[in-house]
Structure 1
Amino acid sequence: ALTQAEAPAGEPANDNEIVVLTERLRSIRLSPGVTIRKGVVTPGTCKIKRSSGDAEVDALAGDAVALCGTRPQPSRKAFNTCVDKEAIDAIFRLRGERAARKAALIEAGEAGQ
């Protein structure tokens, strides 16, 4: 899980920040704490075993595990695929949120001059 990023349709695929965030995501080691039997996911407690060093990236990985734990999954592989997709989608949202925060700070700084 948490392996490769592909840009959603309409997103630039060659964005340096996406590369950095994806590498941070890939560096996380976690224990999802779920059991999957006959397509039924029994959620547990997701634990980060090795942090990415970025609290927001760590949180979105845990959120992806929690979200996929609420959906029927026919296998561990399907669960991992779900986690990968949700985490990558979250990386693109995080990049947008960070860009908006940066723009707001720049705008606030210019307004204060």
Structure 2
Amino acid sequence: MMYPFEVPYREIVADLDSYVDIIFADLASSFLLFPRGKGFLEYESFQKAYEVLKHATGGFSTFEAAQVLEAIKENVLTFVVLQTSARESPVGFIPGMPTVGALGESCYNGEQRF
């Protein structure tokens, strides 16, 4: 069967469920497609470190340096989680993660990143 973008609209409408199934069958996380060379961090390891940080900060509701340091001591990959979060965007993807103050001057300050 062809992809929806390869057929006329009327064919898609006539058999919508099949075309939806084709798209969902082809979806894959880009994380799962990365080359896995030396030093590649498996998702499960990253997720465990994320959960350590989440637990240490009360679900990211309080984000103090002492809490973060304890999380890093418990699982050093927590530092990778922090770096990844700070690089994703100016505010990061961790809910409630502050951009100023909690870990020093700034988690994100122009080109200087936490």
- If the length of structure 1 is used for normalisation, what is the TM-score? 0.29
Bigger RCO (CA 8 Å, 6+ sep): 1
- If the length of structure 2 is used for normalisation, what is the TM-score? 0.29
